[in-house]
Amino acid sequence: MNRTPYTKGLVPVANGIHAYLQPDGSWGYSNAGLIEDSGQSLLVDTLFDRRLTREMLEAMRKVSTSGGRIGTVVNTHANGDHCWGNVEVKDARIIASRKAAHEMTELPPARVAAMVLGAKAVVASGPVAPLAARMFRAAHLAPLADVLDAAPFVARIFAGFDFSHTPLVKPTQTFEGTLDVQVGNRTVQLIEVGPAHTSGDVMAWIPDARTVFTGDILFIEGHPIVWEGPLSNWVKALDAILALNAEVIVPGHGPMTDSAGVKRLREYLAYVDTEATKRHAAGMDAETAAKDIALDAFRGWSDAERIAVNVDTVYRHLEGRTGKVNVVRMFARMARVARAVQ
């Protein structure tokens, strides 16, 4: 396993390349990267809010060989912790996959800001909310019960972020498949590997430095969350990382790793896929299955509640369900599963 210290800030990983790490890698605390050559620069991902992104850019300015100017930004996917800081680099060329660019519009910062504000209000109501949630569920008003069930969880995991006054800045260039981007004399290969974590996941591979920024195709020391799937596609994406034979692997969340970390996540995804499929065949509902699947082999990984989303994704694909995931329902289910698996 890669032994690079997992501390906040910039880590030099190769000539002209830095990783920006954000421990503990849990909800919203993602990694990013700076790639430079011949006075030009490319930023792999912005961060979850403006404050964090400004802090990162200031750290990058201190080591930059391009005067701190960010000429190109690559958003590896549509989740806000990898693109909502785009407003701080809005004059740059911003690249994402076509699917990711579309997906960014489906859950903009303003909607999440309202969700968090509402969650905080529910929490402030004290014991009234849990009682009301039980009443709504008994009355078969599950959507209202889900809002109340999700509130404490949402308020907790997003407590450290500020999504107010954050306009969505969309990519200025999109692509499908692969795209080579020049940074000075250096080539950065963008490789679309979704749908997996989301619909349009992309990795950034720098061949001359044997370095890859994986976005959220790779979580290290934390449970992944499979919003899109199928899980078999994500396994193929991990196989694509292994095929690169990279010397430096920077995950979307967690410490830097090597092939051992990639293989370990592959084991997790294959295990969840198999175990969820068994329970689906037995007629177990998705939430019960999520609580029933043993995670002992992955003890010590953060965010075990994400098994709720991952099992639901397996069920969706087995049943041929289409359409977007109900985010509030999934946060409510994670909140309930968290009480059972932790």
Q: What digits encode the pLDDT tens for the residues 241-266?
A: 999 999 999 999 999 999 999 999 99
Does residue 263 sit within a domain? no
Specify whether 84 is located in the same domain as 182. Answer: yes
Residue 286 lies in a domain: yes
Q: State the total domains in the chain.
A: 3
Percent of the chain with pLDDT over 90: 89
Give me the pLDDT at residue 137, please: 84
Which of 256, 289, 312 finishes a domain?
256
Structural domain that includes position 321: 269-341
Do residue 147 and residue 171 come from a single domain?
Answer: no
Do 172 and 88 lie in one domain? The reply is yes
Residue 162 belongs to some domain of the structure: no
Taking the model in full, what pTM does it have? 0.95
Residue 236 lies in a domain: yes
Question: Quick one: 31 and 139 in the same domain?
Answer: no
Of the residues 157, 189, 224, which one is the last residue of a structural domain? 157
**Tens place of pLDDT per residue across the chain (342 aa):** 677 889 999 999 999 999 999 999 999 999 999 999 999 999 999 999 999 999 999 999 999 988 889 999 999 999 999 999 999 999 999 999 999 999 999 999 999 999 999 999 999 988 888 888 888 888 988 888 899 999 999 999 999 999 989 999 999 999 999 999 999 999 999 999 999 999 999 999 999 999 999 999 999 999 999 999 999 999 999 999 999 999 999 999 999 999 999 999 999 999 999 999 999 999 999 999 999 999 999 999 999 999 999 999 999 999 999 888 999 999 999 999 988 765
Specify whether 99 is located in the same domain as 235. yes
Asked whether residue 1 is domain-assigned, the answer is: no
What is the 3 state secondary structure string of the chain?
Answer: CCCCCCCCEEEEEECCEEEEECCCCCCCCCCEEEEEECCEEEEECCCCCHHHHHHHHHHHHHHCCCCCCCCEEECCCCCHHHCHHHHHHCCCEEEEEHHHHHHHCCCCHHHHHHHHHHHHHHHHCCCHHHHHHHHHHHCCCHHHHHHHHHHHHHHHHCCCCCCCCCCCCCCCEEECCEEEEEECCEEEEEEECCCCCCCCCEEEEEHHHCEEECHHHCECCECCCCCCCCHHHHHHHHHHHHHHCCCEEECCECCCECHHHHHHHHHHHHHHHHHHHHHHHCCCCHHHHHHHCCCHHHCCCECHHHHHHHHHHHHHHHHCCCCCCCHHHHHHHHHHHHHHHC
The last residue of one of the domains, among 196, 228, 256, is: 256
207 and 332 inside one domain: no
97 and 197: one domain?
Answer: yes
